[in-house]
Amino acid sequence: MIVYKFHIIKKVNMNTNDKLIDLTYLEQSFGSDLIPEMLNLYKEQVPEFTEDIQKSFEKSDWLALSKVAHKAKGSWVIVGTKKYADMFRNFQLICETFHFHKLNIITQDRDLNEDEQKVFDELKERRIDVDAELDVDTTKLLLEELDRFKNGEKLQIVPEYTETSLRILKDSLLEVDEILSEF
């Protein structure tokens, strides 16, 4: 049994019959003739996603991490199941929240440069500081993680999300190869 952490605290148990890729959705949306093309496009994107996730996480570059989570979410909307698209959406929002708070801390020491101010204003307009559109449990854990972040303590949630995202992407490639071998 494969267990992925999802929505930070909730666990998704997948048995061997569960799939990451939603073939029914692909067939209904694009027709069976285009499934291999869509899966190959997805397969080409995954190495970039995994590399960008790893690099951005290692650098604690929350903005870059939110952007790659956003791109991965878009791919999951097309080929994956909704629960994993939602997971990448939450990952994006969590990283945006961290970036917003990072910028907020910077404003205490100096004025933001033009690019920083633009991102800060956009995130503030979307109310990332108040409501990151997360479920109640995830919001609670995010606030705990933000306290760790503000206190300079070791993060717990973001590393778990990063690891889970990388594992899901890796597993999805195996599934894509399996599906493509049947075409």
Token pair of 121 as six digits: 């204003």
Backbone angles phi, psi at 44, to 5 degrees: -70, -30
Read off the pLDDT of residues 140-154 as tens digits, 9 standing for 90 and up: 777 888 888 878 888
CA angle 74, 157, 148 (to 5 degrees): 130
pLDDT tens readout for residues 82-109: 888 888 988 888 888 888 888 888 888 8
Q: pTM, whole model, 2 decimals?
A: 0.82
Helix (H, G, I), strand (E, B) or coil at 103: helix
Query: pLDDT per residue over 51-64, tens digit each?
Result: 999 999 999 999 99
Q: What is the C-alpha separation between 88 and 75, in angstroms, rounded?
A: 10
